[in-house]
């Protein structure tokens, strides 16, 4: 099958590799322009560009694919379909009409659940135990097109957003290849979405990074998972700012009896048994063990190691 591929981040790379491995004729790979990255702000190619060049494929990086010149170029390629995975640009109606079989998108949720920019993060933040991937025929809306194939995937226990993203990327690659085979045989399903069941996954904002320590520990743990490793849920103790990368709720935990002050949400408790505990819940007695943290401009480390190195005292307050 003659294909054009559109994608940008690491999530899209398994699909590109899988489609190429299946022997499809990839006419061109479109990805976002190189961006400054790292402390030196050096121009860095997106992961899809690096993978495409490794595969010997033609790469184009227009700022917008829906401008007339690009639409004309893609039309002249005469693709049977355009495969899309986390491309990051809006596709115009004119461009959508170019390929014979349309634009086929890998979306990391079970549509119509979690339409939008952050389905993986919102899934974890909401504590879902099952998610999945959908192959969708793209239309003019945001993740509103007809469904081709879907696959349920169990959320790995303790996985953060990056880890779940990797899992879903692999499933998405397999499912896209399966769908393209059905398309070639003329057996590809096409099922309209039930808009009445739609939920949304808006992009992560600064408000999502704020931790309300009065919430239950398990709820805060889910928030941390959805934000880890980037942008990360950050807190401060004294003048020290750090991200919480991994945490576990400990329902049987209680503050040390020797503590003489009033226990409140948002207190840190260094201890031998658990390492470093953050007091959560309305009374500050719902324990959240900080398994992995990362100080600003530092490396990730265990919570207990962090507590020893900073000589944290029982009952010190943290602020989000």
The predicted structure's pLDDT at residue 232: 95
| 3-state SS string for 209-236 | HCCCCCCCHHHHHHHHHHHCCCCCEEEE
Tokens at residue 311, please?
Answer: 């000589």
The predicted structure's pLDDT at residue 196: 97
Residues 6+ apart with CB under 8 A from 115: 109, 142, 143, 144, 198, 199, 200, 201
Which residues face 83 on adjacent strands? 5, 104
Which residues face 81 on adjacent strands? 3
For the stretch 69-107, pLDDT in tens is 999 999 999 999 999 999 989 999 999 999 999 999 999
Cα(137)–Cα(16) distance, integer angstroms: 17
The predicted structure's pLDDT at residue 143: 96
Cα(100)–Cα(267) distance, integer angstroms: 60
The predicted structure's pLDDT at residue 116: 95
Closest by CA position to 7, among listed 95, 91, 68, 115 = 91
Give, in words, the CATH class of 206-317: alpha beta
The predicted structure's pLDDT at residue 311: 83
The predicted structure's pLDDT at residue 170: 98
Tokens at residue 250, please?
Answer: 């400990």
Closest by CA position to 107, among listed 99, 97, 96, 118 = 118
Torsion of CA 158, 247, 163, 305, to 10 degrees: -130
CB 105 within 8 A of CB 138: yes
The predicted structure's pLDDT at residue 256: 81
CB 292 within 8 A of CB 242: no
The predicted structure's pLDDT at residue 37: 79
- In the block, tokens 């029982």 appear at 314
Query: Any idea where the domains of the chain sit in the sequence?
Result: 2-197, 206-317
Give me the CATH topology for the region 2-197: Rossmann fold (3.40.50)
The predicted structure's pLDDT at residue 276: 93
The predicted structure's pLDDT at residue 292: 96
Tokens at residue 281, please?
Answer: 């819940």
Q: Provide the 10 A C-beta neighbour count for residue 112.
A: 20
**Which contiguous run of DSSP H or E holds residue 118?**
none
For the stretch 289-308, pLDDT in tens is 999 999 988 999 999 999 88
pLDDT lower than 70: segments of the chain: none
The predicted structure's pLDDT at residue 230: 94
The predicted structure's pLDDT at residue 253: 85
């Amino acid at each position: 099958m003659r294909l054009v591929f559109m994608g940008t981040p690491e999530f899209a790379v398994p699909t590109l590799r899988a489609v190429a491995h299946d022997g499809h004729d990839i006419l061109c790979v479109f990805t976002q322009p190189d961006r400054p990255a790292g402390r030196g702000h050096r121009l860095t190619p997106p992961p899809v560009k690096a993978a495409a060049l490794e595969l010997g494929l033609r790469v184009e990086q227009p700022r917008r694919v829906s401008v007339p010149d690009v639409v004309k170029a893609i039309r002249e390629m005469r693709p049977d379909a355009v495969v899309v995975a986390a491309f990051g640009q809006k596709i115009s109606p004119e461009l959508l009409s170019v390929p014979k079989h349309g634009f086929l998108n890998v979306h990391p949720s079970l549509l119509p659940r979690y339409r939008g920019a952050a389905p993986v993060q919102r899934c974890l933040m909401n504590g879902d135990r099952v998610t999945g991937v959908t192959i969708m025929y793209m239309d003019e809306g945001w993740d509103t097109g007809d469904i081709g194939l879907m696959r349920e995937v169990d959320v790995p226990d303790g996985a953060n957003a990056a880890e779940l993203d990797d899992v879903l990327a692999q499933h998405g690659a397999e499912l896209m290849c399966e769908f393209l085979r059905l398309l070639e045989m003329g057996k590809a399903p096409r099922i309209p979405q039930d808009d009445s069941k739609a939920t949304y996954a808006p992009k992560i904002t600064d408000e999502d990074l704020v931790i309300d320590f009065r919430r239950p520990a398990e709820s805060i743990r889910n928030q941390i998972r959805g934000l880890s490793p980037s942008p990360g849920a950050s807190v401060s103790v004294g003048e020290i700012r750090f991200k919480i990368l991994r945490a576990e709720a400990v329902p049987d935990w209680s503050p040390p009896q020797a503590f003489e002050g009033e226990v409140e949400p948002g207190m840190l408790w260094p201890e031998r048994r658990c390492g470093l505990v953050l007091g959560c819940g309305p009374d500050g007695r719902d324990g959240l063990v900080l398994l992995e943290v990362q100080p600003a401009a530092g490396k990730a480390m265990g919570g207990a190691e962090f507590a020893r190195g900073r000589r944290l005292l029982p009952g010190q307050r943290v602020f989000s």
